[in-house]
Amino acid sequence: MKLSGAKVGSFLAKPDTAARAVLLYGPDLGQVQEFAGVLTKAVTGDPKDPFRVVELSLKTLKDDPACLADEAAAISMSGGRRVLRMADAADGLTSLLADFLAHPVGDAVLVITAGELPKRSTLRTLFENADNAAALACYGDEGRDLDAVIRETLSGVGVTLDREAADYLPRVLGGDRLTTRRELEKLALYMGHQGVVSLEDVRACVGDSAAMDIDELAFSTADGNLPAAQRALDRLLSEGTAPVGLIRGLSRHFQRLHLAAGAVALGETVDTALRRLKPPVFYKNADRFRAQLRAWSPTLLSHALSLLIEAEVQCKTTGFPDTAVCGRLIIQLARAAKRKVS
């Protein structure tokens, strides 16, 4: 079965007893590990219980495939169901796991973790289609999910956020669940586990200068302010930021502009369109974003997104210097914006 949406939380809290194996995969490896821990605890009560939690290495399974059935059938000395953990799984395990799911033994639960798996992955397909298995994709937190992680982590230690901090934090967190929690715990420690967090507190403790500079690069480019965009570009490149990462940052900004512009074209007010964006536009940049919506029509934004996609493809396939591709792209976009703004 494929788990998503509201099913995820309920399954993690109380796993379906029919599910003999669970595959956790995706680019957010921190979330993968967190969910694996939550599942293990839900089944065993203690994820560190050596009698009920067993780590199986890929090498062990390769050398002795029968050990999977042997471990699944084994009985814990302390009683209760056991969990068999497997990390770094790949399609090479599909055949072995298909045999196990077709003829399961014992009552142990397999908790299997993997990185990102494409749709054509045989392992992912097996778990999504099996009645006695489950697959759960773990992508970076964003929107309401990220807001919930931030609130849950900070409220548990008596820390709250002022408006500026609440607007800013989602912009620099969310790529990896464990990293997000570590940064929030560091922030709570910095605050002494009490009080209201300000934007200055966040910047002093969590601050991601690269994220701020990419925001400035995107806004300056869409403003048509080429000198400011060039300064931000030079700073980011000097810090070692990959040009492809910069192009993707620009793409996110123009996608948000396109989404808001489309809503306005359908009759929504600009303020309503801005409120729908997740994460919200940082309030200090709201006026700039409104001005850009006036300057860029949906048609022009579609053209800008095409240029961004083309630039990323060039960086990956043509062999052209990616810094040159990125620099030329910024000039194209800034000049287009400048013509519209003026």
Tokens of 273: 């369109």
Burial class (CB in 10 A: 0-12, 13-18, 19+), 198: middle
Residue 342 has pLDDT above 50, yes or no: no
Residue with tokens 């000049």: 335
Q: Please tell me the predicted confidence (pLDDT) of residue 149.
A: 86
Q: Please tell me the predicted confidence (pLDDT) of residue 185.
A: 87
Is residue 198 within 8 Å of residue 205, measured between CB atoms? no
Side-chain half-sphere CA neighbours of 13 within 13 A: 5
Whole-angstrom Cα distance, residue 286 to residue 20?
50
Q: How far is residue 230 CA from its own chain's centroid?
A: 28
- What percent of the chain shows pLDDT beyond 90? 44
Whole-angstrom Cα distance, residue 220 to residue 324?
18
Q: Please tell me the predicted confidence (pLDDT) of residue 328.
A: 94
Q: Please tell me the predicted confidence (pLDDT) of residue 206.
A: 76
Whole-angstrom Cα distance, residue 97 to residue 91?
10
Tokens of 105: 């033994």
Q: What is the DSSP string of 277-291?
A: SSSPPPGGGHHHHHH
Q: Please tell me the predicted confidence (pLDDT) of residue 189.
A: 87
pTM of the predicted structure, to 2 decimals: 0.58
Give me the sign of the Cα torsion angle 74, 78, 82, 86.
Answer: negative
Tokens of 239: 């810090």
Is residue 44 within 8 Å of residue 77, measured between CB atoms? no
What confidence category does residue 70 fall into, taking pLDDT thresholds of 50, 70 and 90? very high
Whole-angstrom Cα distance, residue 248 to residue 4?
26
Span 145-154, mean pLDDT?
A: 84
Whole-angstrom Cα distance, residue 138 to residue 30?
9
Q: Which of 138, 44, 143 has its CA nearest to residue 85?
A: 44
Q: What is the DSSP string of 230-242?
A: HHHHHHHHHTT--
Q: Please tell me the predicted confidence (pLDDT) of residue 341.
A: 45
Tokens of 107: 């009552």
Q: How far is residue 106 CA from its own chain's centroid?
A: 35
Residue 125 has pLDDT above 80, yes or no: yes
Residue 330 has pLDDT above 80, yes or no: yes
**E strands within 76-227?**
83-86, 109-113, 133-137, 159-161, 195-197
Highest averaged pLDDT of the listed ranges 162-166, 245-249, 307-311, 312-316? 307-311
Whole-angstrom Cα distance, residue 154 to residue 146?
12
Which residues sit opposite 159 in a β-bridge? 195
Give the tens place of pLDDT for each residue, 27-40.
Answer: 788 889 999 999 99
Which residues sit opposite 148 in a β-bridge? none
Q: Please, what are the domains in the chain?
A: 2-137 (3.40.50.300), 143-205 (1.10.8), 209-341 (1.20.272.10)
Whole-angstrom Cα distance, residue 58 to residue 112?
11
Q: 83-92, 158-167, 296-305: lowest mean pLDDT where?
A: 158-167
Q: Please tell me the predicted confidence (pLDDT) of residue 340.
A: 55
Q: 12-21, 36-45, 310-319: lowest mean pLDDT where?
A: 310-319
Q: Please tell me the predicted confidence (pLDDT) of residue 175.
A: 64
Is residue 142 within 8 Å of residue 277, measured between CB atoms? no
Is residue 176 within 8 Å of residue 29, measured between CB atoms? yes
- What percent of the chain shows pLDDT beyond 70? 95
Q: 161-165, 221-225, 262-266: lowest mean pLDDT where?
A: 161-165
What confidence category does residue 94 fall into, taking pLDDT thresholds of 50, 70 and 90? very high
Number of H helices, E strands in the chain: 17, 8
Q: How far is residue 234 CA from its own chain's centroid?
A: 27
